Amino acid sequence: MRIDLHTHSSASDGTDTPAALVREAKAAGLDVVALTDHDATSGWAEAQEAADEVGITLVPGLEISTKLHHRGVHLLAYLPDPTYAPLVEVLGRILEGRSSRTPAIVAALRAHGIDLTENDVHREAGGSVAAGRPHVADALVRRGVVADRTEAFATLLSPGQPGYVNRYAPQLEEMIPIVVAAGGVPVIAHPWGRRGGTVLTEEVLAGLRGIGLAGIEVDHQDHPPELRERLRAIAADLDLLVTGSSDHHGLGKVDHDLGVNTTDPEEYERLVSLARR
């Protein structure tokens, strides 16, 4: 069984439609794929239809933008009830924060002398409800300002750079119980990746487990081998699930091909058994 529990479609900042993503997952030899768009469940229905067609198991999920001590933390939420009111409400606030950030980023870049319009960004965002910096990056590529998303993040869109604008995100400690109450399974995405930094220590993870955290994503491209082994040891200590995934974004992120990391079938079975759905 090959299981990839973290992918993005054009419902957020991936470049494949949900249906195309699922078909690619099948072609890549996966048996299970989770669709975990940023802050949005809008790709689920199309993905499920494609999954039924090609014969692959789809795990509906999300990657929720949260904050812990002012640092961004991405929380994967598997199989939550997408109609659970507190979840709907908080996702609405995050998406509203994303929409209102776009004009602010465009204004900041224009003030920096870059010729870019809100329309450029909307065109790149297309069917995505979760407008974000990757779409701004794509607009900058089309304008010839940068060569690719990587250069846009390296030079213009990251904290401290001319086009960086903060946006609303709920606290991680507030979000984990909401996911659990929605019947979902909360797993921290790439805990020691680019944005996690050192806030997610074993002590902090132990506290989060106490409020319902179910697992951590260990096998992720942001984690070099020695970090994976340390995280695996922490997960064993704390009895947290261990997941592995590609964090595939289509053409939007290099070195994140479908199935590049996978989740152990036993961990996957445990995860599914924790969902109330």
Q: Note the residues at the interface with Zn ion (CB under 5 A).
A: 63, 247
Residue found under tokens 């995860």: 271
Q: Which does 149 bind (CB under 5 to 8 A by kind): Fe ion, ligand AMP, Zn ion, none?
A: ligand AMP
Residue 253 CB, shortest distance to Fe ion, in Å, is: 7
Nearer to ligand AMP, 149 or 223 (CB): 149
> Which position's Cβ is nearest ligand AMP?
132
* Residue with Cβ nearer ligand AMP (1 or 251): 251
Whichever of 13 and 124 has its CB closer to Fe ion, that residue is 13
With contact defined as beta carbons under 8 Å apart, do 73 and 188 qualify?
yes
153 binds, among ligand AMP, Zn ion, Fe ion, none (CB under 5 to 8 A by kind): ligand AMP
Residue 26's binding partner among ligand AMP, Fe ion, Zn ion, none (Cβ under 5 to 8 angstroms by kind) is none
**SS3 per residue for the chain:** CCEECCECCCCCCCCCCHHHHHHHHHHCCCCEEEEEEECCCCCHHHHHHHHHHHCCEEEEEEEEEEEECCEEEEEEEECCCCCCHHHHHHHHHHHHHHHHHHHHHHHHHHHCCCCCCHHHHHHHHCCCCCCCHHHHHHHHHHCCCCCCHHHHHHHCCCCCCCCCCCCCCCEHHHHHHHHHHCCCEEEECCCCCCCCCCCCCHHHHHHHHHCCCCEEEEECCCCCHHHHHHHHHHHHHHCCEEEECCCEECECCCCCCCCCCCCCHHHHHHHHHHCCC
**Of the two residues 54 and 147, which places its CB atom closer to ligand AMP in the complex?**
147
Residue 169 Cβ vs ligand AMP, minimum distance, rounded to whole Å: 9
Residues that bind ligand AMP (CB under 6 A): 13, 38, 132-134, 149-150, 153, 249, 252-253
Query: Please, what is the minimum distance in Å from the beta carbon of residue 145 to Zn ion?
Result: 25
Pull the structure tokens for residue 233.
Answer: 């040891």
Distance between CA atoms of residues 15 and 151, nearest Å:
17
- Minimum CB distance to ligand AMP, residue 45 (Å): 22
Positive or negative: CA dihedral 265, 21, 93, 68: positive
In the bound state with ligand AMP, the residue whose beta carbon lies nearer, of 59 and 137, is 137
Which residues bind to Fe ion, rule: CB under 5 A? 13, 74, 189
Q: How far is the CB of 243 from Zn ion (least distance, A)?
A: 12
The least distance separating Fe ion from the CB of residue 132, rounded to whole angstroms, comes to 7
Residue with Cβ nearer ligand AMP (26 or 101): 101
Beta carbon of residue 39, minimum distance to ligand AMP (angstroms, whole number): 8
Cβ closest to ligand AMP, residue 151 vs residue 202: 151
